[in-house]
Amino acid sequence: MVKYTNQAKMLFRKLNDNSPTIHTLESGPYYFHYVIKTPVCSLCLCEKNFSRKSAFAYLEDVTDEFLGQNGTRIASVTRPYHFIEFDYYIQQAKRKYAGRSRHAISAVSSELQDVTRIMVSNIEDVIHRGEALNILETRANDLSDISKKYREDARLLNRKSTLFKVTVLLFFVGFFGFVARYLFW
């Protein structure tokens, strides 16, 4: 933590009038978030997974409260830690915003679990539909094969029927021709 304290002190020294009034800086597994409301700069160090929105809301809250309580006395302060009594408010706000973050994380986690359950359910439905579609496809292919065989059998039967009719006709024509030849010649 000493490393981050030194980085925070160096950051305060480097801030000037041209610095952004709201900004985030990355430092290893943490983020430094700061808000500048002249003449006050509020800074917090958060883990990367902590919501930036919550961090800046916390900083805005602390800065506004500090300016409300001590805004007129800031210029006249001569000794360090003059506003140490304000630490009580900082700790209260810290607990409030950390609690919000935990609640938000648990809500998001709960929603994520619901979505996961829905996705698993949907995937199972798709798998079952896929199996049903595979069965339907197999039956459709079987039906197609059977209809092709039926068509071929029907053609063959029609040919045999036509051939039989022609054969019978030729037989009768031949028979009557033969009988007519012997009777009339």
Amino acid identity for residue 38 in this structure: T
Q: What is the C-alpha to C-alpha distance for residues 115 and 47, in angstroms, rounded to an integer?
A: 26
Residues found in the chain: 185
For 3-31, the pLDDT digits (tens) are 888 888 888 888 888 888 998 988 888 98
155-182, pLDDT tens digit by residue?
999 999 999 999 999 988 888 888 888 8
Strand 40-47, strand 30-37: pairing: antiparallel
Q: What is the pLDDT of residue 156?
A: 93
- Can you give the pTM of this predicted structure? 0.53
Kindly state the tokens that stand for 44: 């917090």
Mean pLDDT of the residues in the chain:
82
**Helices marked H in the chain:** 2-14, 52-70, 87-184
Between the alpha carbon of residue 173 and those of residues 169, 176, 177, 178, 184, the distances in Å are 6, 5, 6, 8, 16
Tell me which residue of 44, 46, 42, 45 sits closest to 83, measured CA to CA.
Answer: 42
Domains of the chain: which residue ranges?
2-118
Which one of 2.40.400.10, 3.30.450.50, 3.10.290.10, 1.20.1250.20 gives the CATH number of domain 2-118?
A: 3.30.450.50
pLDDT per residue as tens digits for the range 122-146: 666 666 777 777 888 888 899 889 9
